[in-house]
Amino acid sequence: MSKKKSSVLLVYTGGTIGMMQDAKTGELKPFNFNYLAEQIPELKKSDISLSSVAFKKPIDSSNMHPQIWIELAELIRTEYEKFDGFVILHGSDTMSFTASALSFMLENLNKPVILTGSQLPIGIIRTDGKENLVTAIEIAGAKQNGKPVVNEVCIYFEYKLYRGNRTHKYNAEHFNAFESPNYPPLAEAGVHLKYNHQAMAKASAKKLTVYNSLNSDIAILKMFPGINKNVVEAILSAKNLKAIVLETFGAGNCTTEKWLTDLLAASIKSGKIILNVTQCNAGAVEQGKYETSAQLKKIGVVGGKDITSEAAVTKLMFLLAQKLNKKEITRLLTKSLRGEITA
């Protein structure tokens, strides 16, 4: 009896990886994914049954929007039973935001959703896109004892598989564009694919739940030496603002100027949620460790632990849309929902 092939759905949203260079003009234009195997003949040797769907109008990832995340989540809901895994081709600039958002929107995910892209178009001779795409498809179709090896939303880039909501793009020029400083890679691709099973999300016994609403009434307030009252006041008084991601120094520290503490306290008292995340690439917020963060803890700012800014923004969008009260949202912000913070 022949072994059944794994089936993977390839979703092209846009981005550098899906661009081809016009032979006559030299201009980059979207690639026709119906001819994918011609461009990447390695796929013909694969044991995976591959289907593809492309957005009618590919979008640059700088134009990524919560509505697109909802469309992607709904697409996965619709196709979930038909495929063993999903690969989403996406521009790298906002890939960490999309991966983080999808991780919250897809609860009890028992199949891989792998986002990948490239720094150079797939039609360029030195492209990194071919390896990223071929390996992402292999991971999305990988099974062990008949079940998917990966059960979460991930980013695969330059030989490493990361938990999506732990990543951020840190390099605009090198092929290794992403890093996950507070969580180890889930897999590394060399001669063999080596999975870090201990770091991976465990399969859930529950059925997939897809959330299709997000609330983007959020602002990011980044601390810097010399930040003034007028700027902070303008941000905190924005119409319909419900939550603020406060990017602080080091382990969650900021100026102890009374005007700032008073403004933040007044915002919290008015019902807004303030989540403290560090500006550092690695490490965690520990409110109260130093005097310069003790006042934040005292007025009710929520410590974000080691969450990334990308995951903080999308987690707030997700929670605010669930019609929860402030106390429940605050509790869930300090709890790991999809492995986005270290428990």
Q: How many domains does the chain have?
A: 2
Q: Are residues 137 and 196 in the same domain?
A: yes
Q: Are residues 200 and 277 in the same domain?
A: no
Whether residue 103 lies inside any domain: the answer is yes
pLDDT tens digits, 191-215: 889 999 999 999 999 999 999 999 9
- CATH (domain of 238): 3.40.50.40
Q: Within 13 A of 189's CA, how many CA atoms are on the CB side?
A: 16
More confident residue, 265 or 132: 265
pLDDT band at 32 (very low <50, low <70, confident <90, very high): low
Whether residue 340 lies inside any domain: the answer is no
Name which of 29-43, 147-161, 165-179, 196-210 the model is least confident about.
Answer: 29-43
Q: State the Cα–Cα distance between residues 280 and 195, nearest whole angstrom.
A: 28
Whether residue 90 lies inside any domain: the answer is yes
Amino acid type, 35: Y
The catalytic residue positions are 16
- CATH (domain of 71): 3.40.50.1170
Q: Give the model's pLDDT for residue 23.
A: 66
Average pLDDT of the chain? 91
Whether residue 50 lies inside any domain: the answer is yes
Give CA separation, 132 vs 17, 113, 159, 178, 300, in Å.
Answer: 9, 14, 7, 13, 43
Whether residue 339 lies inside any domain: the answer is no
pLDDT tens digits, 210-256: 999 999 999 999 999 999 999 999 999 999 999 999 999 999 999 99
Q: Which of 185, 210, 235 is the last residue of a domain?
A: 210
Q: State the Cα–Cα distance between residues 316 and 100, nearest whole angstrom.
A: 11
Tokens encoding 109:
């995910």
Residue 112's SS3 state is coil
Whether residue 1 lies inside any domain: the answer is no
Tokens encoding 257:
């100027």
Q: Are residues 202 and 230 in the same domain?
A: no
Q: Are residues 250 and 197 in the same domain?
A: no
DSSP per-residue string spanning 145-168: TTEES--SEEEEETTEEEEGGG-E
Mean pLDDT of 173-194: 90
Q: State the Cα–Cα distance between residues 85 and 279, nearest whole angstrom.
A: 34
Q: Are residues 251 and 198 in the same domain?
A: no
Q: Give the model's pLDDT for residue 315.
A: 98
Q: Are residues 178 and 245 in the same domain?
A: no
Q: Where are the alpha helices (DSSP H) in 114-246?
A: 129-141, 229-236
Q: State the Cα–Cα distance between residues 327 and 24, nearest whole angstrom.
A: 60
Q: Which of 190, 210, 230 is the last residue of a domain?
A: 210
CA nearest neighbour of 116 among 127, 124, 126: 127
Residue 63 has pLDDT above 80, yes or no: yes
Residue 2 has pLDDT above 70, yes or no: no
pLDDT tens digits, 273-307: 999 999 999 999 998 888 888 999 999 999 999 99
Q: Which of 164, 190, 210 is the last residue of a domain?
A: 210
Q: Are residues 200 and 240 in the same domain?
A: no
Q: Are residues 265 and 163 in the same domain?
A: no
Q: Are residues 89 and 189 in the same domain?
A: yes
Whether residue 18 lies inside any domain: the answer is yes
Q: Are residues 200 and 226 in the same domain?
A: no
DSSP per-residue string spanning 296-327: HHHHTPEE-TT--HHHHHHHHHHHHTTT--HH
Residue 1 has pLDDT above 50, yes or no: no
Percent of the chain exceeding pLDDT 90 equals 70
Expressed as residue numbers, the domain containing 111 is 6-210
Whether residue 342 lies inside any domain: the answer is no
Note if the pTM is more than 0.85: yes
Q: Are residues 269 and 205 in the same domain?
A: no
Q: Are residues 198 and 229 in the same domain?
A: no
